């Protein structure tokens, strides 16, 4: 908007017409005071100011405008019929004005000047608005930076207080904070504690983690600086993610040596106990069988002997399971694989199971001639486990389906389906875990929760994949798939 200040309405009128013809918005004032009042209420791009006015003249108005913060930057074009000599022109400039036009007005020159000032005004406004935006952005960034620093300080404070060795690192993996405990295991803040020569290389794991942008969890032994006293620690590193970007890594070494020792002692105990139990049990079994031969067997004594043998066999299989567990723990569960017909192993195992469970119907869908590379005894152990679980966890059903087939990927599929208590969805993942038993087991069946774990370890060594599906209350299907020998 342009403000025209002239005491003569006809002058205002003619100027206004010229400017409005060229699409400028125009306002007017007929005296200095009115002009000053208007400039305080409204912002103008330019003021065209008549010098000679009754009361306050143009120069006085310009001086007052230049003294006010709100108005001092508005460009002014003086209009004068008389003050054409240099003295007046100079006076005009020194009072803050920018240009000067004499009357009679040349419309072209006026327009040229108005357009120039107007453009300048627009550019100036854009500049100011850009500056403001920049300032705002800058402040926002500063604030965000301060917040990040504040958060980092908070995190460092927490990490300083926890009992673990703790550190943080930049997204690129440079360690930028370590707590005091760090120095018990490493002399330098930027260098990981040295690990036991037999344990995974922490620097390599660190690099892999950075590349994958995934959390890291590693059990390793680290020693206090200057000693060879290695203790087991759990190294856990998590990314701090903001707006889908890793902004920091936070890591801790937790001393788990105590737990490790307890587990080791438990494993040792299991191993020794099962070995020690095995020998006398084998003798008991042999003597009972001998007894059956040397005494005159009556119906009652036969019954007692049979029952004793059933209990001895149960104990024997329990001890075998415990022995297997300790072998797995020590990496000693080893057996040879040889080419065999799966159907042969299955039919002999089913025959045996039919004797153990005479009132259960084991329905085999078809005979298979699949050849696999396997260990017959261990495969038998898996089949027995699947089927005895199917019996054990289906107390009200006497029907079990045994399924064999060749998959489209040319693998052997073996499954055992029961119609028993089933397994809840949330427990499905865990049934193959060591010592896992469903706690609300509706069947109240007894067990140690290691059978399926041993099966999974046996099947791993057969290159086989194990699975389960179940409908809670309606039964379960345990299965594995194993490569056929022709496709090994
Ligand atoms: P155990 O039978 O000695 O407890 P397993 O390792 O064989 O140990 O099985 C682990 C757990 O999985 C069992 O305790 C039981 O809760 C569940 N489970 C296994 N087989 C079945 C099945 N056929 N139906 C329902 N639950 C089962």
* 32-60 pLDDT, tens digit each: 999 999 999 998 999 999 988 888 888 88
Residue 447 CA: which ligand 1 atom is closest? 3
Q: Is the CB of 389 under 6 A from ligand 1?
A: yes
Residue 454 CA: which ligand 1 atom is closest? 6
Q: Is the CB of 436 under 6 A from ligand 1?
A: yes
pLDDT of 442 reads 58
DSSP string covering 236-277: EEEEEEETTEEEEEEEEEEE-HHHHHHHHHHHHHHHHHHHHH
Predicted confidence band of residue 152 (pLDDT cuts 50, 70, 90): confident
Q: Is the CB of 6 under 6 A from ligand 1?
A: no
DSSP string covering 75-141: -EEEEESS--SHHHHHHHHHTT--EEEESSP-HHHHHHHHHHHHHHHHHHHHHHHHHHHHHHHHHHH
Q: Which of 402, 452, 456, 459 to mutate to test the pocket of ligand 1 (most atoms within 8 A of CB)?
A: 452
**Beta carbons of 66 and 72 less than 8 angstroms apart:** yes
DSSP string covering 330-362: TT------EEEEHHHHHHHHHHHHHHHSTTSEE
Burial class for 193, CB neighbours closer than 10 Å (0-12, 13-18, 19+): buried
Q: Is the CB of 449 under 6 A from ligand 1?
A: yes
Q: Say how many Å lie between the CA of residue 69 and the centre of ligand 1.
A: 86
List beta partners, residue 404. 414
* 451-472 pLDDT, tens digit each: 999 999 999 999 999 999 999 9
103 vs 447: CA distance, rounded Å: 113
Q: Say how many Å lie between the CA of residue 385 and the centre of ligand 1.
A: 9
Q: Say how many Å lie between the CA of residue 453 and the centre of ligand 1.
A: 10
Q: Is the CB of 393 under 6 A from ligand 1?
A: yes
Burial class for 476, CB neighbours closer than 10 Å (0-12, 13-18, 19+): buried
DSSP 64: H
* 252-263 pLDDT, tens digit each: 999 999 999 998
44 vs 71: CA distance, rounded Å: 9
29 vs 35: CA distance, rounded Å: 5
Helix segments in 162-222, DSSP class H: 182-185, 202-212
Q: Say how many Å lie between the CA of residue 471 and the centre of ligand 1.
A: 14
Q: Is the CB of 476 under 6 A from ligand 1?
A: yes
**Beta carbons of 243 and 249 less than 8 angstroms apart:** no
DSSP-derived 3-state class of residue 222: strand
Q: pTM value?
A: 0.59
Q: Say how many Å lie between the CA of residue 375 and the centre of ligand 1.
A: 23
Residue 438 CA: which ligand 1 atom is closest? 16
Predicted confidence band of residue 435 (pLDDT cuts 50, 70, 90): confident
Q: Is the CB of 473 under 6 A from ligand 1?
A: no
Q: Is the CB of 324 under 6 A from ligand 1?
A: no
Q: Is the CB of 92 under 6 A from ligand 1?
A: no
List beta partners, residue 417. 401, 477
Q: Is the CB of 430 under 6 A from ligand 1?
A: no
Four-point Cα dihedral 82, 85, 87, 92, nearest 10:
60
**Beta carbons of 111 and 46 less than 8 angstroms apart:** no
* 95-135 pLDDT, tens digit each: 555 788 888 888 898 899 899 888 888 888 899 999 999 99
Residue 453 CA: which ligand 1 atom is closest? 6
* 181-218 pLDDT, tens digit each: 999 999 999 899 989 999 988 999 999 999 999 999 99
């Amino acid at each position: 908007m342009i403000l025209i200040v002239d005491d003569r309405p006809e002058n205002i009128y003619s100027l206004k017409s010229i400017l409005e013809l060229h699409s400028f918005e125009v306002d007017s004032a007929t005296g200095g005071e009115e002009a000053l009042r208007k400039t305080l209420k409204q912002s103008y791009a330019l003021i065209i100011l008549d010098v000679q006015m009754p009361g306050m003249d143009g120069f006085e108005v310009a001086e007052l405008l230049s003294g006010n913060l709100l108005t001092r930057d508005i460009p002014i074009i003086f209009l004068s019929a008389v003050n054409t000599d240099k003295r007046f022109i100079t006076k005009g400039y020194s009072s803050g004005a920018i240009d000067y036009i004499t009357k009679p007005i040349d419309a072209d020159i006026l327009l040229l000047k108005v357009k120039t000032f107007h453009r300048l005004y627009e550019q100036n406004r854009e500049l100011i608005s850009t500056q403001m935006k920049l300032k705002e952005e800058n402040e926002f960034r500063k604030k965000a930076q301060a917040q990040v620093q504040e958060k980092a300080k908070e995190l460092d404070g927490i990490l300083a207080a926890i009992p673990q060795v703790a550190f943080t690192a930049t997204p690129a993996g440079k360690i930028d904070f370590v707590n005091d405990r760090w120095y018990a295991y490493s002399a330098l803040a930027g260098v990981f504690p040295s690990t036991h020569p037999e344990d995974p290389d922490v620097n390599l794991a660190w690099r892999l983690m950075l590349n994958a942008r995934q959390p890291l969890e590693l059990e390793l032994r680290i020693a206090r600086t200057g000693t060879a006293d290695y203790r087991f620690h759990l190294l856990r590193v998590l990314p701090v993610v903001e707006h889908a970007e890793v902004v920091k890594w936070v890591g801790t070494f937790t001393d788990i040596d105590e737990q490790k020792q307890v587990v080791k002692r438990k494993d040792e105990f299991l191993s020794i106990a099962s070995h020690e139990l095995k020998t006398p049990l084998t003798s008991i079994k042999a003597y009972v069988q001998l007894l059956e031969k040397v005494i005159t067997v009556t119906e009652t004594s036969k019954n007692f002997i049979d029952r004793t043998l059933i209990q001895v066999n149960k104990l024997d299989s329990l001890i075998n399971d415990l022995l297997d567990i300790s072998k797995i723990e020590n990496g000693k569960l080893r057996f040879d694989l040889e080419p065999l017909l799966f159907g042969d192993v299955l039919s002999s195992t089913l025959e045996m199971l039919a004797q153990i469970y005479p009132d259960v119907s084991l329905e085999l869908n078809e005979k298979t001639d699949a050849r696999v590379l396997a260990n017959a005894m261990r495969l038998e152990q898996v089949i027995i486990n699947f089927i005895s679980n199917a019996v054990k966890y289906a107390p009200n059903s006497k029907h079990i389906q045994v399924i064999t087939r060749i998959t489209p990927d040319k693998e052997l599929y073996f499954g055992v389906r029961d119609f028993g208590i089933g397994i809840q969805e949330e427990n499905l993942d865990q049934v193959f875990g060591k010592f896992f038993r469903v706690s609300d087991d509706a069947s109240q069946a007894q067990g140690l929760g290691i059978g399926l774990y041993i099966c999974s370890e046996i099947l791993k060594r057969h290159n086989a994949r194990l699975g389960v599906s179940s409908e809670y209350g309606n039964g379960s299907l345990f299965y594995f798939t194993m490569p056929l020998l022709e496709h090994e």
